[in-house]
Structure 1
Amino acid sequence: MDKNNTRTLVKRAALAMVLAALVLMEERTVPVCNIDTTSLEKCRPAVTGNNPPPPGNKCCRVLQVANLECICSFKSYLPVLATTNPSKLEALLTKCGVTTIPPACLGKIKVP
């Protein structure tokens, strides 16, 4: 194998390693409590600010399939819920048609 072939092979191997690293660095999400927790971000506008807009359909679909008792037990770890006033969270759930709101969703957040 001559020098040019070796250089080409080394360049291709380096490119393959970079591409593999980029794929591995891609943010992975883990399903928790029946949902992908990053999907809660769809609800952020509806709980942000003094006069939040009504929740969108995507937000409500997420909340309707989530195991809310489970989600709210982790709320101090979930950015969209950890910074949310419990009354805004209750209003969001009500607007999305959630009729049974677990007590864990309404209590104050205990920082671990």
Structure 2
Amino acid sequence: MADAQSVREEVSSAKAVLLGALAPGVNGPTWNTLKSAFLLLGLSLSLMLALAISSSDSSLVLHVGFLVLITATLFLLLSWFLAQTGLVTIENQMRDLDLVPNAGSETNKKRT
């Protein structure tokens, strides 16, 4: 238990996001990064939609509106999927990638 606590303290948020990209599952820092990326994407697309409406170009309004719809749908589906599956801990992802030394393997190395 103490090993898991020390692993949690030494992992930076950037390393946690990298682990979230490489290991199975999604951890908390990776999900927070994705939410902020979707927020910034939504803000920029909203600004583009406002500019398209002010230019009175109907094809541009339709195009950007469709992009906003795709972004919102993707975010809602991703949120729903993560609500169904749940988040994984950073420690589990590190174990999946064999980044945490096992206590049993260290004793086996000392015997040989």
Higher relative contact order (CA 8 A, sep 6+): 2
TM-score (norm: length of structure 2): 0.29
- The structure richer in helix per residue is 2
TM-score (norm: length of structure 1): 0.29
